[in-house]
Structure formats: structure tokens, C-alpha cells
């Protein structure tokens, strides 16, 4: 009994001791430490909420301290908002009597939603400070955000509260048709480089209309959004070569999450969809990133040729280009990383690709860099002639054993030829379709399974130098005089979209 009594008294002492420590704090002395002295929130569009950013606050002393106030300098008028150790304080702006234990830390999470009018008119920066304590103990951490003005295009609200919709593949999706006489935006069929554009839902190009993108245009798509080119409608992308890494003259399509974390995340938006019977398309100097499918050509008018030149497509969740019975002439195209195929030409069609680089390092056993087929399940009829699929001076490579796939229906024409190409196909095959060294009707001067030594695949830099297996292996008969960057090709030319150079640093 005496032992139980001693243990009981000892437990009470421990309980009171631990409770007392929780409340035995000293005043903050202004010696807090921070994980950073400035929190830079990535660029945001006006009135669109930012991502969440983190600041860690350290108490390096041996004492538990009490911080009388943690607040935004602009107080309740600040466009920033915070949570401090999971609490929201006064509207996320002002926090009172925060306890920070000895040798411990706390987290502050910061977000913002601001208008362009809130920013400094000379540099478009919106700034504030997080203030810790006051007077002699005052410490501050700066907050900086670049606010970008933009033209916002989105479905209108119907009187019954539902969103405007358009029909794609017989399905109603959130969307709207671009208006050349819009009372607010003016001509929505002309995308200029004056301001970026942010699109919610599918922006449709009406029948018998043409949408034009001028050099330097920037288009940001929200989740599940895209561009839809309707039957008899046309798309013209008129980018030009840039002289800096900012791609100032390129037309750029990407998702609307501007934080660096999202730079290379696939599937952030849907696709550019070309409807059955759309026509007269031309694409030059387009960079398209992080879509589900980059260019989705759904049986466009096969009486006209689609020109795709000097175009880069990166990080597609499914396909870089999915072409269904299309007629494409492609020059200086680079497609890197796609969940299924960087280029997939199905249900026949007519294709010529010259000086193109198709690389797929997606970790998927079913992936291909290039897939060709003359059939389509569920179509009527299910096969369609592949009248031509020619690849000249191209690179077809990736991380899979075989990056080139032929899906042939023997009863329907299937015409293909590879001339002076570097090709990844490392599995031995007795299939007559893959006899790269002996089948001269389909394969000429094939470099098989040699590394092109791209500069940095994960950063979408598929440049090569003179150590590459693709160096000076092209045929001058197929040469495109300038590469994708506007650099003059030598004789003999390199394979792929890039003329070799010293790697960028």
C-alpha cells in the first residue's frame, strides 16, 4: 500500500510540473529566426488565388516565449492571408499571444488574392510584411507577389444558374464560342501579345471562322479547359523565332498554375481539339505544355494539309499529337514525354515529318514515341487507308525498349517509310514489319539503338552536340535549311529538330 501511495504522489507531482511548463513563458525578446527573410509568391493573375507558401519561425532560446502579435503590416486591408500554427486569427491578418516553446518552431502558411490595381503601377508587384511583435522587438519578413493583368475568357452564366455549354463529340461541356464582336473583349478571334489570356472551359471557334494567334501570344488554360476548332473552322498560329530563352516571339499554351512546382506536371488542362471537318490550319512556333493531349485532330477535312512547323509539345498525360485520318506536313517538331505516345497517327491519313524529334521517357510499359495505325475501334468503317507516313532525318527515341509501333490492318493500305532516322527498337523481332536493316522498301539508313545524348530530357532540352549519334547523319536531300531555333543547318545536317551546338549552361 505504501508503494502505491508513493507512486500516486509522484504522478501528481509530474502532472503539475508538466502543466506548469506549458504556461511558464517569457516575453519575446526580438530574436526569432526565420527560414527566409522574404517570401516570394509566384506570379498570379489578377483576382485569382495563389498557391500556398510556407514560412518557418524558430525559437533558438532555452525559454518558452510568448509573441504578443503576429500580423500583416497592412492589417485587415492586406491582400495576403495567413494561418499560424493552424489557426486563422482575425481574418488571417492579425494573431495575438502566440506561444513558441524553447528550441521549437512554428509554421506560417501564406496566400494572396489581389487585383492589378493593388500592385505598384511601375513594376506590378504587390508587397506587404509579416510583423512579429512591435517596438524594439519588431521583426519583419517581406512578402512579394507579381500581379499579372490578363484577358479572361469563360462560359457565361445562364439565367437558371447553369453555365453556358458547347457540344464536343456529342457531349455537352462547359464552354463558349469566341466572338469577334464581344462588347467587353472586342475581337476574341484575335489573340495578341498585349496581355495574356486565361481560358475557363472550352473556347470554341465557330464554323467558317478563323482564330489567329499573333507572335508572342500567351494563353493559360484552367483545369479541364481547352480550345475547340469546330467543323469548317480554322486555326492559325503565327509565332516566329525567338532570340532569348524567354521565347518572346513564340506562341505559348499552358496551364494557369504559375507556381514553379507546376512547370512540368502533365494533365493540367485538356487539349486543342480539331473537329471532324475543320480545315486550313497552320501552326508555326507554338510551345504547348502540360495538357492531357496537346493537339487532338479528330478527322479534320482531309482535302487540306495541316502545316505544323517549329513546334514544341511537352509533358502530355496521354498524347503529344493524336491525329485521326489527318493530312500533316510537320517540320522541326519536338515532342517530349507523353503517357501513351508522343505522336500517334491512327485511322489512316497522310503524313510527312522532316527533322522532327520524338522522345518518350514516360515510365509506362505501353508507351511509344511514334505509333502508326490504319484502324480505329468503334469507327465506321473501322479501317481507313494510311496513304503515307514518311519520316525524314528524324529521331524516334525514349526509355522503353521499343519506341516505334505499327498497328496494321492487312486489308487496308498501310504505306510508311523512314529515311535517315535514329530509332530506338532494341527487341529482336522476326516480324517482317521491323526489319530495319534489310527492308529497304520501308527503311533507309537507320541508326538503331544509339544514344542521341540529349542535353537534359527532364528539362525538355533535347538539343544535341557533336558527340551525339545523330550528329551529321542526315540526308541533304531532305534538309530544312533552318532548325527549330532559326539556326542554319550544316551539310550533312544533324538528325532531329536541333542543329548541334555547345550545350546551354
Residue 171's pLDDT band (cuts 50, 70, 90): very high
Q: What is the pLDDT of residue 261?
A: 87
List the helix and strand counts (H, then E) for the chain: 1, 37
Q: What is the pLDDT of residue 366?
A: 80
> Between the ranges 238-247, 294-303, 444-453, where is the mean pLDDT highest?
444-453
Identify the burial level of 354 via C-beta atoms within 10 angstroms of its C-beta, where 0-12 means exposed, 13-18 middle and 19 or more buried: buried
Q: Of 308, 301, 307, 309, nearest to 279 (Cα)? A: 301
Q: What is the pLDDT of residue 188?
A: 98
Yes or no: say if 389 and 416 are a contact pair by the CB < 8 Å rule: yes
Geometric angle at alpha carbon 74, from 72 and 80, rounded to 5°: 60
**DSSP track, 168-183:** ETTEEEEEEE--TTBT
pLDDT tens-digit profile of 419-441?
A: 999 999 987 778 999 999 999 99
d(CA 269, CA 273): 12
Spell out the residues 6+ positions from residue 47 whose beta carbon is closer than 8 angstroms to its own. Answer: 113, 114, 115
Average pLDDT, the chain: 92
What number does CATH give the domain 26-148? 2.60.40.10
Q: What is the pLDDT of residue 11?
A: 52
Q: What is the pLDDT of residue 3?
A: 52
Geometric angle at alpha carbon 408, from 405 and 409, rounded to 5°: 160
In the predicted model, what is the mean pLDDT of residues 72-85?
A: 96
Residue 259's pLDDT band (cuts 50, 70, 90): confident
Q: What is the pLDDT of residue 502?
A: 60
Exposure letters 433-443 (e unless 16+ CB within 10 A, then b): ebebeeeeebb
In the predicted model, what is the mean pLDDT of residues 398-407?
A: 95
Within 126-237, residue ranges assigned H as helices are none
Q: What is the pLDDT of residue 504?
A: 52
Residue 463's pLDDT band (cuts 50, 70, 90): very high
C-beta neighbour count of 346 within 10 angstroms: 23
pLDDT tens-digit profile of 123-155?
A: 889 999 999 999 999 999 999 999 999 999 999
Q: Of 153, 269, 282, nearest to 211 (Cα)? A: 282
d(CA 40, CA 191): 30
Q: Of 183, 242, 244, 234, nearest to 217 (Cα)? A: 242
Rg (C-alpha) for the chain, rounded Å, is 29
Specify which residues 132 forms β-bridges with: 70, 139
- Three cell numbers at 347? 485511322
Q: Does residue 8 carry a pLDDT above 90?
A: no
Q: Does residue 198 carry a pLDDT above 90?
A: yes
Task: Name the maximum alpha-carbon separation found in the chain.
Answer: 103
- Three cell numbers at 112? 494572396
Residue 9's pLDDT band (cuts 50, 70, 90): low
Q: What is the pLDDT of residue 19?
A: 44
Percent of the chain with pLDDT over 70: 95
**DSSP track, 64-96:** -EEEEEEEETTGGG-SEEEEETTB-TBTTTEEE
Per the listing, cell 524567354 goes with: 246
d(CA 130, CA 56): 12
Q: Of 156, 158, 226, 242, nearest to 193 (Cα)? A: 242
Q: What is the pLDDT of residue 269?
A: 98
In the predicted model, what is the mean pLDDT of residues 251-270?
A: 94
Pairing of strands 125-132, 139-148: antiparallel
HEC assignment per residue over 424-469: CECCCCCCHHHCCCCCCCCEECCEECCCCCCCEHHHCECCCCCCCC
d(CA 276, CA 440): 36
For 410, the 3-state DSSP assignment is coil
d(CA 488, CA 505): 21
Spell out the residues 6+ positions from residue 78 whose beta carbon is closer than 8 angstroms to its own. Answer: 72, 93, 128
Q: Of 319, 352, 354, nearest to 335 (Cα)? A: 319
Residue 245's pLDDT band (cuts 50, 70, 90): confident
Residue 287's pLDDT band (cuts 50, 70, 90): very high
**DSSP track, 228-268:** EE-TT-EEEEE----SSTT-TTSEEEEES--SGGGTT-TTS
Residue 503's pLDDT band (cuts 50, 70, 90): low
Per the listing, cell 492586406 goes with: 78
Yes or no: say if 178 and 147 are a contact pair by the CB < 8 Å rule: no
pLDDT tens-digit profile of 289-318?
A: 999 999 999 988 777 889 999 999 999 999
CA distances from 76 to 67, 89, 110, 160, 396 (A): 19, 11, 15, 36, 57
Residue 2 has phi, psi (to 5 degrees) of -60, -35
Whole-angstrom distance between the N-terminal and C-terminal Cα of the chain?
Answer: 78
pLDDT tens-digit profile of 36-77?
A: 999 999 889 998 999 999 999 999 999 999 999 999 999 999
Amino acid at each position: 500500500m505504501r508503494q502505491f501511495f508513493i507512486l500516486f504522489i509522484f504522478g501528481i507531482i509530474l502532472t503539475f510540473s508538466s502543466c506548469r511548463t506549458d504556461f511558464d513563458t517569457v516575453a519575446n525578446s526580438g530574436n526569432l529566426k526565420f527560414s527566409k527573410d522574404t517570401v516570394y509568391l509566384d506570379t498570379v493573375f489578377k483576382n485569382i488565388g495563389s498557391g500556398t507558401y510556407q514560412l518557418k519561425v524558430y525559437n533558438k532560446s532555452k525559454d518558452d516565449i510568448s509573441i504578443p502579435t503576429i500580423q500583416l503590416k497592412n492589417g485587415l486591408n492586406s491582400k495576403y492571408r495567413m494561418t499560424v500554427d493552424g489557426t486563422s486569427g482575425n481574418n488571417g491578418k492579425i494573431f495575438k499571444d502566440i506561444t513558441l516553446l524553447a528550441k521549437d518552431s512554428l509554421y506560417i502558411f501564406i496566400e494572396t488574392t489581389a487585383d492589378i490595381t493593388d500592385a505598384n503601377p511601375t513594376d506590378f508587384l504587390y508587397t506587404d510584411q509579416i510583423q512579429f511583435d512591435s517596438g524594439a522587438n519588431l521583426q519583419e519578413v517581406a512578402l512579394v507577389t507579381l500581379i499579372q493583368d490578363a484577358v479572361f475568357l469563360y462560359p457565361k452564366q445562364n439565367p437558371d444558374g447553369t453555365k453556358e455549354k458547347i457540344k464536343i463529340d456529342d457531349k455537352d461541356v462547359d464552354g463558349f464560342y469566341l466572338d469577334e464582336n464581344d462588347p467587353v473583349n472586342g475581337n476574341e478571334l484575335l489573340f495578341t501579345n498585349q496581355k495574356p489570356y486565361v481560358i475557363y472551359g472550352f473556347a470554341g471557334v465557330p464554323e467558317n471562322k478563323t482564330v489567329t494567334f499573333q507572335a508572342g501570344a500567351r494563353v493559360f488554360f484552367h483545369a479541364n479547359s481547352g480550345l475547340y476548332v469546330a467543323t469548317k473552322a480554322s486555326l492559325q498560329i503565327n509565332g516566329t523565332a525567338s532570340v532569348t530563352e524567354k521565347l518572346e516571339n513564340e506562341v505559348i499554351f499552358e496551364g494557369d498554375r504559375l507556381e514553379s512546382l507546376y512547370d512540368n506536371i502533365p494533365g493540367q488542362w485538356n487539349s486543342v481539339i480539331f473537329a471532324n471537318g475543320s480545315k486550313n490550319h497552320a501552326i508555326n512556333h507554338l510551345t504547348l505544355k502540360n495538357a492531357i493531349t496537346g493537339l487532338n485532330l479528330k478527322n479534320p477535312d482531309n482535302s487540306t494539309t495541316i502545316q505544323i512547323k517549329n513546334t514544341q509539345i511537352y509533358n502530355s498525360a496521354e498524347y503529344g499529337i493524336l491525329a485521326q485520318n489527318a493530312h500533316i506536313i510537320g517540320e522541326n517538331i519536338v515532342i517530349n514525354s507523353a503517357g501513351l505516345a508522343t505522336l500517334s497517327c491512327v485511322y489512316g491519313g497522310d503524313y510527312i515529318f522532316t527533322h522532327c524529334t520524338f522522345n518518350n521517357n514516360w515510365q509506362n510499359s505501353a508507351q511509344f514515341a511514334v505509333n502508326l495505325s490504319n484502324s480505329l475501334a468503334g469507327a465506321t468503317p473501322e479501317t481507313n487507308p494510311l496513304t503515307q507516313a514518311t519520316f525524314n532525318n528524324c529521331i524516334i527515341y525514349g526509355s522503353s525498349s521499343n519506341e516505334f509501333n505499327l498497328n496494321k490492318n492487312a486489308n487496308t493500305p498501310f504505306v510508311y517509310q523512314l529515311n535517315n532516322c535514329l530509332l530506338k527498337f532494341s527487341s529482336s523481332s522476326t516480324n517482317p514489319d521491323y526489319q530495319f536493316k534489310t527492308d529497304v522498301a520501308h527503311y533507309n539508313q537507320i541508326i538503331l539503338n544509339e544514344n542521341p545524348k540529349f542535353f537534359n530530357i527532364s528539362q525538355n532540352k533535347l538539343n544535341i552536340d557533336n558527340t551525339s549519334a545523330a550528329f551529321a547523319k542526315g540526308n541533304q536531300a531532305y534538309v530544312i535549311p533552318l532548325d527549330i531555333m532559326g539556326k542554319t543547318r550544316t551539310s550533312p545536317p544533324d538528325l532531329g529538330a536541333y542543329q548541334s551546338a555547345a550545350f546551354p549552361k
